[in-house]
Each structure stands twice: as C-alpha cells, then as structure tokens.
Amino acid sequence: MDMSAPTLQTIQLVKQYQMGSLFVEALKGVDLSIQAGEFVAIMGPSGSGKSTLLHLMGGLDKPTSGEVILAGKPLSQLNDYELARIRRLKVGFVFQFYNLIPTLTAAENIALPLLIDGVPLRRYRERLDELLELVNLSDRAQHKPDQLSGGQQQRVAIARAFVNQPEIVLADEPTGNLDTRSGTAILELLQRSRAELGATIVIVTHDPRAASYAQRVIFLRDGKIAKTLGSEGGEVSLKNIMAEMEALEA
C-alpha cells in the first residue's frame, strides 16, 4: 500500500433521506481525507450530519452520491457481504451506548470480531491480554457487562474496536455518556492506542475538551464542512474550538 495515500477519503459525499415526499439532505457534498495515524475530531451543531458522515465512512450506510475510499477500496462497489468484511477487518466502531453483548464476558466481547471471523480464540489469547492490559481491565476479564460501570463498558468497547488491528477506528460521542473523569480516561486511552497500535481515529463529539485531543478538528454545518482546525486553519486548542463552535451555532 502506498503510504502517502490517505487511509480514508470521501469524495463529494451526499446523503439524502426521504421522508414521504420530503427530502432531507443530511450531507451536501463532503470532501475529506484522513491520513494513516491521524486523530481527527468532527464537531458541529446537532443535526449537522456528524453521525451520518461517520456511518458512511464506516460502511454502515450507503451514500446517495459520492464515494468513500477506505484503505484504497471504493465502498460503493462492494456488496453487503464485502462491506461486512471490511467493517470486521478494517474498521472499529465505538458507540455512545457501548453496545456490548450482555451474555458474553468482557474478554469475550473484546474478542467478538474474531469470533465472528471464525478465528479460534486461543490464537489470540496474547492479543486479548495485551488489549485488556491496555484498557486496564485485566482483573475484569470474566465480568459480564452488567457488572461493569459505564466507563469500564466503554473501555471494553474500545478494546473490541482495536482487536482486529483496524485501519481506522470510528467513535460517535464515545464520552457522551460518561462523567468528566471517565471521559478523560477514554480519550487518553484512544490517544495511547493510536500511539501504541498505530491506528487512525475519528471521533464525533460535542465536547470541545474531547476535540482538543485531536490533531485536526473538522466542523460541519448543514451537511457541509464549514471549517477545519489543525492542518490549514488555526491551531487546535480549546480556545479556538470553543470560538468556532460559538460562531457555528450563532
């Protein structure tokens, strides 16, 4: 793979929702490219299309027009089965509501993508231990989700997102449900994972503090990129982010 090529690229991404005779245009042509190893935050007012964009990037949904190129593959060309495979092998998802399987233990939840892939677990024992270590849950490996706190559950979800060494990890408000301390721990975890595991991370967030962990912050408004901090625009700092947010919401 050409190292200079972006890990993820969106080209004129448009997403329309039809509600009866009414069309809602959630994304109105988004061009975006994310390099390997980058940590990107997407911000914007509620309803600006953040989640929609994230879902399209992860191949959970298909755009109305435009293209998502993930690890060199245009997603629009893939069928349902191939999309599932891409999600399983190239993408890791983290959600606001953890979405763990309640019947499985923390360790089993982490290993779930491998399980789905049909990989015998014992081959991944080491990796599992490594991940449990990373998310600081080695002593909770055999706990079921309902025996874990929200922050712990989210850490399990993050470990699950990383288990397959994905090209990119997509997180939609991963701290939305957590208190500040747990939220900080999650963000530090994400950053550390990026450093240690060499992953690319995109998070959607409302929280300027969360966004400040990123190298680049992309602001959406009405389905379009309104501003970017980090690469071309200003520097990523809490102050700049808050100012931008205020400007957008005005």
Ligand X SMILES: Nc1ncnc2c1ncn2[C@@H]1O[C@H](COP(=O)(O)OP(=O)(O)OP(=O)(O)O)[C@@H](O)[C@H]1O
205: CB partners within 8 A, 6+ apart: 41, 42, 43, 173, 174, 175, 176, 211
For residue 234, give Cα distances in angstroms to 150, 162, 218, 229, 249: 35, 31, 11, 5, 19
Q: Which of ligand X, Mg ion, another protein, none does 78 bind, CB closer than 5 to 8 A by kind? A: none
Kindly write out the interface string for residues 17-46 of this chain, putting x where it contacts ligand X by CB under 6 A and - elsewhere. x-x----x-x-----------------x-x
Kindly write out the interface string for residues 42-61 of this chain, putting x where it contacts Mg ion by CB under 5 A and - elsewhere. ---------x----------
Taking the complex as a whole, the smallest distance from the CB of residue 122 to Mg ion amounts, in Å, to 39
Q: What is the amino acid identity at position 7?
A: T
16 binding Mg ion? (CB under 5 A): no
Q: Which of ligand X, another protein, Mg ion, none does 160 bind, CB closer than 5 to 8 A by kind? A: another protein
Q: What is the amino acid identity at position 118?
A: G
234: CB partners within 8 A, 6+ apart: 240
Residues 174-203 that bind another protein (CB under 8 A): 177
49 binding ligand X? (CB under 6 A): yes
Closer by beta carbon to another protein, 93 or else 213: 93
3-state helix, strand, coil in the chain (%, to 5): 40, 25, 35
Select the residue interacting with another protein from 12, 33, 65, 84 (CB under 8 A).
84
187: CB partners within 8 A, 6+ apart: 174, 175, 210, 213
Closer by beta carbon to ligand X, 12 or else 147: 12
CA distance 83 to 77: 9
Select the residue interacting with ligand X from 7, 9, 10, 48 (CB under 6 A).
48
Q: Which of another protein, ligand X, Mg ion, none does 104 bind, CB closer than 5 to 8 A by kind? A: another protein
